Amino acid sequence: MSFYNAFKKSLPWVQSPLIANAPMSGAAFNELAIAVSRAGGLGQIGFLDDMHELSNELQVARDKLQDLMSTLPDPQILPIGVGVIVFGSPKDAWMTLFRTHKPAVVWLSFAGTSELRQWTEAIRQASPKSQVWVQLGSVKAALDVAQACHPDALVLQGSDAGGHGHQDGASIVSLIPEVTDTLLQHEIGDIPLVAAGGIVDGRGTAAALALGASGVVMGTRFLSAPETRIPQIYRDAVFKASDGGQATARSRVFDEIWGPNFWPATYDGRCLRNKVYNRYASGMDINKIRSWLVSEMNGPGSKSLDVQDMGSLWAGTGVGMVNTMQKAGDIVRTVRDDAMKRIGSLA
């Protein structure tokens, strides 16, 4: 679907092609969302389970974006998105938040179809002008959710994606065209598709549009932005990594290392590969890995550990192309301009 049909009316400040920052929990706060939306992208704030803190983030964004909001057809709508990790989240409290702050987009992820339907219906009552986007990782999930919820966009997360994701996933190269065909066969091809996973520049963006997406979401690329709230040591590890398929790995061990994993079994996550992962992949028992890690961190051996050994540093396979700090607004403009040039040169 063309950018114009997909987003021009619902997100009127956004320029073509749509570029959004992923609502990265623990990393994407108001500074990043504001910078991305100001640059004509869709800025998003990541999931927080502290609703008071999240409400403050949204209020700061509202205060700081007043000038942009006053130019929009509905100046009450906050021109940013908010991410919800749905499983385990208290629906009613979130609806109060949406009723108050009216985000342009509510991004839902990590839940089954019936729960997503309940959330979609509730959001449409609480904040009727908020768009509901759902992130999914398979053709079946995309079809089920499209039929049950008819969201305003489906975000298709490919297996290259950094952060939590869908364990049995394909890359966007096959996922997007197959979802496109499947939705058309079921006569629901009117839902815009947004690509996520492994896209870090204009080349990836142009490719995603060619595959059938109406816009793209980037997480890993925005880890390089000073507006993303991560420790510099994390950002430096991202800059140092190269050869993304080798430097990162998908596994559930990244959620298991500090205790029981509360994530449902269908989800894992992609992180910078580390010594914990290497031990897990070679068959070591998780309790033994935990004891080893604690003794290494507390003993003289801690010098042998890198920052990514001691924590789970979420990053996607595009990490090898993310090498320098760049302001979030410049990332949006550079990627957008480069994508347009590449599309033009292909034509």
Q: Is 314 in the site for ligand FMN (CB under 6 A)?
A: yes
**Nearest CB to ligand FMN, comparing residues 202 and 219:** 219
Structure tokens given for 228: 């993303």
318: which DSSP letter?
G
Q: Which of 27, 78, 82, 179 binds ligand FMN (CB under 6 A)?
A: 27
CB of 146 to ligand FMN, least distance (A): 18
Q: Is 25 in the site for ligand FMN (CB under 6 A)?
A: yes
Q: Which of 30, 37, 109, 251 binds ligand FMN (CB under 6 A)?
A: 109
CA distance 120 to 148: 10
Q: Up-side HSE of residue 269: CA atoms within 13 Å toward CB?
A: 21
CB of 276 to ligand FMN, least distance (A): 17
CB of 135 to ligand FMN, least distance (A): 5
Specify the 3-state DSSP secondary structure of 136.
strand
Cα–Cα nearest to 143, from 179, 102, 195: 179
Q: Which helix (H) or strand (E) holds 83?
A: strand 78-85
Q: Is the CB of residue 37 less than 8 Å from the CB of residue 79?
A: yes
Cα–Cα nearest to 37, from 4, 71, 84: 71
Residues 173 to 232 in contact with ligand FMN, rule: CB under 6 A = 196-199, 217-220
CA distance 189 to 181: 8
Q: Which of 103, 202, 316, 329 binds ligand FMN (CB under 6 A)?
A: 316
The site string for ligand FMN over 119-158 (x = CB under 6 A, - otherwise) reads ----------------x---------------------x-
Give the CA distances from residue 327 to residues 61, 157, 196, 213, 308, in Å, rounded to whole numbers and listed in that order: 18, 24, 20, 25, 24
Terminal Cα-to-Cα distance of the chain (whole angstroms): 18
260: which DSSP letter?
-
Q: Which of 17, 23, 169, 212 binds ligand FMN (CB under 6 A)?
A: 23
CB of 204 to ligand FMN, least distance (A): 9
CB of 331 to ligand FMN, least distance (A): 11
Specify the 3-state DSSP secondary structure of 98.
helix
CA distance 234 to 3: 34
Of 55-63, 86-94, 297-305, 308-316: span binding ligand FMN (CB under 6 A): 308-316
CB of 326 to ligand FMN, least distance (A): 15
**Nearest CB to ligand FMN, comparing residues 83 and 202:** 83
Q: Which of 24, 34, 208, 332 binds ligand FMN (CB under 6 A)?
A: 24
Residue of minimal Cβ distance to ligand FMN: 219
Structure tokens given for 173: 């190269």
295: which DSSP letter?
H
CB of 256 to ligand FMN, least distance (A): 18
Of 68-76, 161-169, 178-186, 272-280: span binding ligand FMN (CB under 6 A): 161-169
Residue 128: phi and psi, rounded to 5, are -60, -25
Q: Is 46 in the site for ligand FMN (CB under 6 A)?
A: yes
CB of 218 to ligand FMN, least distance (A): 4
CA distance 81 to 148: 22
* Residues lying near ligand FMN in the complex (CB under 6 A): 22-25, 27, 46-47, 83, 85, 109, 135, 157, 160-164, 196-199, 217-220, 314-316, 318
